C-alpha cells in the first residue's frame, strides 16, 4: 500500500507514500527461482497478522522517524502511516488508498500490487536471493530487488510477513528512501471490520505503537505469529 514505495507493505507495505507507487504501470516482471518463491509468499499469504513498524525516511531535506503498520487476514490487507490509509483485496486485485494530506482516494489494481506484499508496480532490472537472515522474529529470507529508481532489500518471514525493508536510491549517491523495521508482529488484529472502504475513515493502530521504540509508552519487540 504501501506497502508506500510499497504499501508495504507498506507494507508493509508501506512509510513512503503509497500513492506515488500506485501511479506506476505494471510492466512484465521476470521473477524466477527462490526470489519468485519469496515474493509470491509475501503476496499470496493468507495468514492473519498485525505488524507494527518503526520507519526512517527523508522529508523536507532531513531524515524523520515515524510509525507504520500493516494488517492482513485471508486475502485482505491494510496499510497505515501517518499520511496514508490503504485497503486491498489481494486475490481480487482491488484496493483503495486514501491520502490524509490531500483527502483524495486512489482506487484500482495498482493499489493492490503496491499494498499486498512486495510492491510489484515497477519492472525489476535485477533480483537476488541473499539467503536466510536472523531477525527479532525468527529466520527470514532476504531478497534484493532493483528497479529504475531504487535498490530494495526485504526480509520476509516464513509466513510471508515483511519484517524489515530498505529502499536506497538507484544511483551514485545511493540516498536512503526508506528504512523500516518491525517492532511487533502479532497473530491477532486490533479490531474487526478494518478492510472495507468505509474503514479508511479511522486509524486502527493502537497509540502504543505510534511511539518511538524505547520510549516509555512503546512496547518491546514482540511476536505471537511464529
Q: Where are the domains of the chain?
A: 8-191
Q: How far apart are CA 42 and CA 118, in angstroms?
A: 6
Averaged pLDDT, 110-137? 97
Q: Does domain 8-191 have CATH number 3.90.1150.10?
A: no
Residue 4: its pLDDT value, please?
Answer: 46
Confidence band, pLDDT 50/70/90 cuts, at residue 173? confident
Residue 148: its pLDDT value, please?
Answer: 92
Chain CA centroid to CA 18, Å? 9
pLDDT tens per residue, range 61-99:
899 999 999 999 999 999 999 999 999 999 999 999 999
Mean of pLDDT over the chain: 88
Averaged pLDDT, 17-22? 49
Lowest-pLDDT choice from 24-28, 150-154, 161-165, 195-199? 24-28
DSSP string of the chain?
-----SSEEEE---SS-HHHHHTS--------HHHHHHHHHHHH----EEEEEEEEEEETTEEEEEEEEEEEETTEEEEE-SSEEEEEETTTTEEEEEETTT--EEESHHHHHHHSSS--SS--SEEEEEEEEEETTEEEEEEEEE-SSEEEEEEE-TTS-EEEEEEEESSTT--EEEEEEEEEEESS-S-SS-SSGGGGGS--S-GGGGSPTTSTTPPPPEE---
Q: Residue 45 pLDDT > 70, yes or no? A: yes
pLDDT tens per residue, range 177-212:
999 999 999 999 999 999 999 999 999 999 999 999
Left if phi > 0, otherwise alpha if psi is -120 to 50, otherwise beta: which for 131? Answer: left
% of the chain at pLDDT higher than 70: 82
Amino acid at each position: 500500500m504501501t506497502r508506500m514505495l510499497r504499501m508495504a507493505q507498506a507494507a508493509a507495505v508501506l512509510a513512503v507514500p503509497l500513492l506515488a507507487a500506485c501511479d506506476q504501470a505494471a510492466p512484465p516482471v521476470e521473477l524466477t527461482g527462490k526470489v519468485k518463491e519469496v515474493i509470491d509468499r509475501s503476496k499470496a499469504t493468507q495468514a492473519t497478522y498485525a505488524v507494527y513498524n518503526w520507519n526512517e525516511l527523508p522529508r523536507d531535506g532531513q531524515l524523520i522517524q515515524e510509525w507504520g503498520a500493516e494488517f492482513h487476514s485471508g486475502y485482505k490487507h491494510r496499510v497505515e502511516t501517518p499520511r496514508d490509509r490503504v485497503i486491498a483485496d489481494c486475490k481480487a486485485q482491488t484496493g483503495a488508498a486514501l491520502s490524509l494530506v490531500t483527502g483524495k482516494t486512489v482506487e484500482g489494481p495498482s493499489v493492490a500490487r503496491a499494498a499486498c506484499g512486495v510492491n510489484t508496480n515497477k519492472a525489476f532490472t535485477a533480483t537476488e536471493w541473499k539467503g536466510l537472515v536472523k531477525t527479532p522474529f525468527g529466520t527470514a529470507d532476504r531478497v534484493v530487488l532493483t528497479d529504475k529508481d531504487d535498490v530494495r532489500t526485504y526480509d520476509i518471514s516464513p509466513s510471508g510477513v515483511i519484517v524489515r525493508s530498505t529502499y536506497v536510491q538507484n544511483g551514485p549517491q545511493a540516498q536512503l528512501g526508506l528504512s523500516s523495521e518491525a517492532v511487533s508482529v502479532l497473530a491477532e488484529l486490533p479490531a474487526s471490520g478494518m478492510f472495507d472502504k468505509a474503514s479508511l475513515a479511522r486509524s486502527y493502530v493502537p497509540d502504543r505503537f505510534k511511539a518511538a521504540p524505547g520510549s516509555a509508552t512503546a512496547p518491546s519487540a514482540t511476536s505471537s505469529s511464529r
